[in-house]
Amino acid sequence: MKVQICIIVGFLVLCSLAMQTTEPEIHIKFPEKNSRVQIDGFGNIYIITENEIVKYNALGIVQKKFSTKRYGRIDFVDAINPLKILVYFRDFQQILFLDNQLTQSSDVISFEKLGYEQASLVCMSSNNGFWIYEKQNNELCRFDSELKPIVKTGNLKRLLDFNIKPDFMVEHNNFLYMNCPAEGILIFDIYGTFYKTIPLKNLKEFTLVNGDVFYFENHALKQYQSQTFNTIEKPFSDTLIKTVYWKNEHFYSVYQDSLVIH
């Protein structure tokens, strides 16, 4: 309980100070409008376009770039492990891994060769493994670093007794969080066993801090507290903001053409 109180108080204090700080804001201009953003645990920022990833450090200085048109559009990047970054090319049903210099550190992995032809979602897992959600069979599969399947849930529609349509998933503290806008956030343990549902519906994206869910809705950054089931929020008056992240004790405001770090 004390840990949970500290998290809540810390968030509230940061909210109250965010717009009062005298420190200069850091601005990062996107190479393309509506570029996507990933932030790792070290404060590094990844700006993602259709064919390129640009890495910035916490001060907004460009560090490295990765660019390719060989595998089609970059659909998803998971930088939860900054030393092994997952890059997913949905059109070609392939992934590859980058190191912390954005240098390709693996051969391209084809899901078709692994026996899966409709992997619609992918994310990193612990011990350098990864998860896929296979749409055709409504199945979650977890692979180890040697590309061996170590977890298979079977058909989740039969298991859960409803038809899921997930659009995003991420692993956090040995739990897999799967966003299903019509149902909420489904949580599975590391062995693929269904744990519970967080009743937050119609989310487009979210981030996780110590088990709490942070998401941007109606011009406010909201924190759903996993222990108390309460929600606290910090409103933002700037209507041009598309979304806000809170990570590494910073606010990251995302606009159509830029990112601002408070």
Q: Where in 137-181 does DSSP place strands (E)?
A: 139-143, 149-152, 168-172, 175-180
> What pLDDT does residue 10 have?
52
Going from the C-alpha of 183 to that of each of 89, 174, 200, 211, 215, the distances in angstroms are 27, 22, 8, 19, 16
The pLDDT-based confidence of 3 (bands split at 50, 70, 90) is very low
> What pLDDT does residue 11 have?
57
| Residue 226: closest CA among 169, 177, 162, 160 | 177
Q: What is the pLDDT of residues 50-76, one digit of tens each?
A: 999 999 999 999 999 999 999 999 999
Tell me: pLDDT of 48 over 90.
Answer: yes
Tell me: pLDDT of 6 over 80.
Answer: no
Tell me: pLDDT of 243 over 60.
Answer: yes
Give residue limits of the domains in the chain.
Answer: 31-114
Please provide residue 111's backbone torsions phi and psi, each rounded to the nearest 5 degrees: -65, -30
CA-angle at 252, arms to 16 and 19, nearest 5°: 30
Tell me: pLDDT of 221 over 90.
Answer: yes
Percent of the chain with pLDDT over 70: 91
In Å, the largest CA–CA distance within the chain is 55
The pLDDT-based confidence of 117 (bands split at 50, 70, 90) is confident
> What pLDDT does residue 169 have?
97
Tell me: pLDDT of 174 over 60.
Answer: yes
> What pLDDT does residue 235 have?
97
Q: What is the pLDDT of residues 133-162, one digit of tens each?
A: 999 999 999 999 999 999 999 999 999 998
The pLDDT-based confidence of 22 (bands split at 50, 70, 90) is low
Going from the C-alpha of 176 to that of each of 5, 7, 195, 262, the distances in angstroms are 24, 21, 10, 29
Mean pLDDT of the chain: 92
Tell me: pLDDT of 107 over 50.
Answer: yes
> What pLDDT does residue 13 have?
44
> What pLDDT does residue 24 have?
77
**CATH number, domain 31-114:** 2.40.10.480
Q: What is the pLDDT of residues 7-20, one digit of tens each?
A: 454 555 445 444 44
